[in-house]
Amino acid sequence: MASNSKFQDKQVDAILNDMIAVLEKHQAPVDLSLVVLGNMVTNLLTSSVGKNQQQALAKAFSDALMNSVK
């Protein structure tokens, strides 16, 4: 999604491939996959980010997602 990242491509690709494999294992259609991924993002924000930063980070994530599909 991001063009510049502090994370190594190899690590990102490995995790992405694992997540894709799980969705394929469950034969999740696109809409279910998006619901699950959205719930994961929400869970990460609410469990790992301070309440005062959650909306700003959600907005940054949303903007990055929108830019990635342009």
Structure-block tokens of residue 70: 């342009």
The pLDDT-based confidence of 2 (bands split at 50, 70, 90) is low
Global confidence as pTM:
0.82
pLDDT digits (tens, 9 = 90+) for 37-69: 999 999 999 999 999 999 999 999 999 999 999
Structure-block tokens of residue 63: 């903007």
pLDDT for 44 equals 97
Query: Do 2 and 60 meet the contact criterion of CB atoms below 8 Å apart?
Result: no
> How far is the C-alpha of 14 from the C-alpha of 48, rounded, in Å?
22
Q: What percent of the chain has pLDDT over 70?
A: 94
Residue 4 has pLDDT above 80, yes or no: no
pLDDT for 10 equals 95
